[in-house]
Amino acid sequence: MLRLAVPNKGALAEAAQAILKEAGYRNRKDSKELVVVDPENSCELFFLRPRDIAVYVGEGTLDGGITGRDMLHDSGAPAEEILPLGFGGSTFRFAGKAGQFSSVHDLSGLRVATSYTGLVEKHLAEAGVDARVIKLDGAVETAIRLGVADAVADVVETGTTLRNVGLEVFGEPIMRSEAILIKRAGVPHANGLEQLIRRLQGVMVARDFVMMDYDIKAEQIDKAIAITPGVEGPTVSPLHREGWVAVRAMVRRKGHQQVMDQLWDIGARAILVTDIYAARL
């Protein structure tokens, strides 16, 4: 039985539950359900706070989990990333009053508020900066106005939260984060983990790619294949029309309209794009 940790709240919860559902695992019926048994997939899902997930997985009580890369590094738990999941993207950055700071070195002797003390202390130590790290649970952006800190270090996605309180980021990003699948460091994959990885990869492929079909004159096929090389090479079949072929290839969803334009320009017609419902490459 694969024992898996899933965020029960916060920015990653909904998308983590959605990707597992798309991968064929059972979902919980309501947000009060903390454990779901999924006998068809030999799996047990434990709904936990995102911050605690690396701790459970690092201790070996759970075989795998979904959390943020920043939270994994912050925890210092002996767990490792095995698959980035392509959602929940953010950067982890220092911020302060506009114009006051330009690099991490300006923090020397000052106070930095954060909920990610492990991550920030490590970063400051690596930069050789001696600053005091103040641990807060959340809403850290307010700490400057209330005089608890001189700067903050927090998750930045759109930057709206910072702008709303008149702060701006400074220095290099401390980390680029996204949702990741983790397991305990240095142990072999538990039973069922390989299958989970393959299924999640399949969901990401189905999300990132579309299927493109079109007809084109056989003499143009080399140009067409250069535009739509597919994953392992496109399928080219004869068309019931002298001198024409039908082509089928997977194409990245992003930019597929430009690909259609290029195909049209070299004479492709009947260009059709369809969603991929599920995939296993």
Ligand X SMILES: Nc1ncnc2c1ncn2[C@@H]1O[C@H](COP(=O)(O)OP(=O)(O)OP(=O)(O)O)[C@@H](O)[C@H]1O
Ligand Y SMILES: O=P(O)(O)OC[C@H]1O[C@H](OP(=O)(O)OP(=O)(O)O)[C@H](O)[C@@H]1O
- Please report, as ranges, the residues that interact with ligand Y according to CB under 6 A: 10-11, 138-139, 141, 154-161
Please tell me the distance from the alpha carbon of residue 279 to that of residue 191, in angstroms, as a whole number.
22
Distance from C-alpha of 72 to C-alpha of 56, rounded to nearest angstrom: 11
- Partner from ligand Y, ligand X, none contacting 154, C-beta within 5 to 8 A by type: ligand Y
Considering Cα of 76, then 79, then 83, then 85, what sign does the dihedral take?
negative
* Distance, CA of 6 to CA of 114 (rounded, Å): 24
Q: Note whether 10 binds ligand X by CB under 6 A.
A: yes
Nearest to 69 by CA among 45, 94, 88: 88
What is the total count of residues that contact ligand X (CB under 6 A)? 15
Asked whether position 90 contacts ligand X by CB under 6 A, the answer is: yes
- Which residue, 6 or 250, is less far from ligand X as judged by CB? 6
| Position 155 contacts ligand X (CB under 6 A) | yes
- Binding partner selected for residue 84 from ligand X, ligand Y, none, CB under the kind-specific 5 to 8 Å limit: none
Residue 222 burial (C-beta neighbours within 10 Å; 0-12, 13-18, 19+): exposed
Phi and psi angles of residue 103, each rounded to the nearest 5 degrees, phi first: -150, 170
Partner touching 139 among ligand Y, ligand X, none, CB below 5 to 8 Å by kind: ligand Y
Q: For residues 52 and 20, what is the distance between their CA atoms, to the nearest angstrom?
A: 19
Residue 237's binding partner among ligand Y, ligand X, none (Cβ under 5 to 8 angstroms by kind) is none
Pick the closer one to ligand X by CB: 72 or 210.
72
Distance CA 273, CA 247 (A): 12
Q: Does 9 bind ligand X (CB under 6 A)?
A: yes
Report angle CA 208, 209, 214 to the nearest 5 degrees: 160
Please tell me the distance from the alpha carbon of residue 147 to that of residue 133, in angstroms, as a whole number: 14
Binding mask 27-66 for ligand X (x = CB under 6 A): -----------------------xx---------------
Smallest separation (angstroms) from ligand Y to the CB of 138: 2
Of 7 and 96, nearer to ligand X (C-beta) is 7
113: closest CA among 139, 134, 137, 92?
134
Q: How far is the CB of 159 from ligand Y (least distance, A)?
A: 5
Among 11, 82, 197, 246, binds ligand X (CB under 6 A): 11
Question: Quick one: which of 159, 107, 155, 157 has its CA closest to 133?
Answer: 107
What is the DSSP pairing of strand 244-252 with strand 64-68? unpaired
Taking the complex as a whole, the smallest distance from the CB of residue 141 to ligand Y amounts, in Å, to 6
Question: Per rule CB under 6 A, is residue 138 in the interface with ligand X?
Answer: yes
Binding piece for ligand X, criterion CB under 6 A, among 10-18, 31-39, 238-246, 271-279: 10-18
Q: Is 250 in the site for ligand X (CB under 6 A)?
A: no
Residue 12 in the binding site for ligand X (CB under 6 A): yes
Q: What residues make contact with ligand X under the rule CB under 6 A?
A: 9-12, 50-51, 68, 70-71, 88, 90, 138, 155, 157, 177
